[in-house]
Amino acid sequence: GGDGVIIGGWKVRARNTRILGKDALEELEQRLGTSHLPEMVYGSSLELTHESTGVKLHFNAEDALREWLQEDLPPLKVAAAAVWERGHKASDGGGGGGDAWNDEEETDAYDWTFTTPYRGSVSVDVDGHVDGHVAGHPPPWTDTDQRVDRGLLMERDPILFFDELTLYESELDDNGLMSVTVKVRVMPRCWYVLMRHWMRVDGVLIRLRETRFFHRIATGGSGRDAPCVVVRESARREETFEGLRMRGAPSEPGQYPDADEAASVLLAAGGPVEMEYHALTV
C-alpha cells in the first residue's frame, strides 16, 4: 500500500500510518529487546527503489530505534542527561535515598532522549531485477565532493509527489520534545529527501541531526549511461541552552517549538556544525 510515483527508473513509495497499537508495540519491543520506547511510534515508511538494480533506500522507525539502542553517546552528552535525570528524580520526591539511587542507575542505563544516528537503510530488493549487486550486499556510501544541488531544488519545477512522515516522537516526560521525521519531494529533474532527528530538553540541550538525500534524474539520451548517484549530506548541531544564552542567541525553549523552527533558528545563530558528505552509486 501507500502513495507514490515512478520516475527516472526510481519507484518512490510512502506509507503514512497511525501510532502503533498495543500489540504491534509489544512485538516491536520484543524484536528490539527493550521496553523503553517513545510514547508515539508509527508504522510509517518511505522507500525509494532503483528498479533496474533493486537497490532500495528506505526509512522506518524500527531501524531508527535499533540504531538508537546501538549508539554509544559520548560521556559529555550522557552527563547532560544525568543532570536532567537527577533533577527529575529529586522533583519526583520518590522513596528513600537508596531506592532513588537504584532507580537512577536503571534509567541512566539507556538514552531517554531516543537520539539515533540513523540515516536511512540501504538494501537490495531480491524481488527486483538485480543487475550488478548481490542480494543482501548493497553498495556502500563513500566520501564525495558532490553536493545537494540547492539551485535545482529552488527551481519552480512541478512537484510530482510530496509527503511528510513521522517515524517516532516523544514529549520526554513533559520536559521537552523529540521527533524523527522524513520529508520527500519528487520533481521531474530530481528527488530529494530530508530526514530530521531533533530533540529539545528544556533548559538543558537542543540536538538537531539533519540528513539530506538528493538524486538528479537523467534526462534525454546523454545521461543514460552515466552512473546513477545519490548524494547524502549530513549535518549535526548540538547546543546547550546556556551556550546559546552566552552567545546572545535565542535561549528560551518556546523559541524552538518544532524541528523546522529549530533548524532555522540554529542556522541563524551560527553555532558549531559537523558536516559529512557521501555518495551512493547504484
Q: Where are the domains of the chain?
A: 3-71+111-281, 72-110
Residue-wise pLDDT tens digits, 243-262: 999 989 999 999 999 999 99
Which pLDDT belongs to residue 78? Answer: 41
Contact (Cβ atoms closer than 8 angstroms) between residue 227 and residue 211: no
Given this model, what pLDDT does residue 99 score? 38
Which three cell numbers, joined as nine digits, stand for 51? 528498479
**Nearest by Cα to 139 from 242, 57, 31:** 57
**Residue range 177-223, pLDDT digits in tens:** 999 999 999 999 999 999 999 999 888 899 999 999 999 998 765 55
Tell me the Cα Rg of the chain: 21
Residue 174: how many CB atoms within 10 A of its CB? 7
CA pseudo-torsion sign 44, 46, 49, 54: negative
pTM: 0.85
* Count, residues in the chain: 282
Q: Which segments in the chain show pLDDT lower than 70?
A: 1, 72-109, 127-136, 220-225
**pLDDT given at position 105:** 38
The C-alpha cell at 187 is: 520533481
Helix (H) or strand (E) holding 213: strand 205-216
Closest CA to 69 of 106, 33, 24: 33
The neighbour count for residue 256, using CB atoms within 10 Å, is 25
State residue 80's pLDDT score: 53
Rounded to whole angstroms, the maximal C-alpha distance in the chain is: 75
